[in-house]
Amino acid sequence: MPNLFNDQVIVCNCGGTMDIDGKKLAKACGSSTPCDISTSLCRDETDKLATAMQTAHESGTKFIIACTQERTVFDNIAEDNGCPRQKL
């Protein structure tokens, strides 16, 4: 998961509907950490998302999900895992 301005970023290609190059994205963000592209954070990968949210919450790091279409789903996952949504 890349860092962008000290925030954790998780990126989803929405079921493969967008061609996102993780290496190019990480480089463009100035991240030394590789960017793994998720495919279904709002459906099949909610456990992966919840774990990343909890890790960021416990470390006091901001966490950015690069998707706004499923914001309600992500808010619910955050609430269910005790990780309130942060204002950017």
SS3 83: coil
- Domains of the chain, residue spans: 3-80
Which pLDDT does position 20 carry in this prediction? 92
Work out the pLDDT band at 17, boundaries 50, 70, 90. Answer: very high
Which pLDDT does position 87 carry in this prediction? 61
* H or E stretch covering 51: helix 46-59
Longest dimension (CA), the chain: 33
- 70: DSSP letter: T
Closest residue by Cα to residue 43 from 21, 7, 69: 69
How far is it, in rounded angstroms, from Cα 10 to Cα 35?
8
pLDDT higher than threshold 60 for residue 5:
no
Q: Are residues 35 and 9 in contact, defined by beta-carbon separation less than 8 angstroms? A: yes
Over the stretch 34-87, which tens digit does the pLDDT of each residue have?
788 999 998 999 999 999 889 988 998 888 888 767 888 888 888 898 887 766
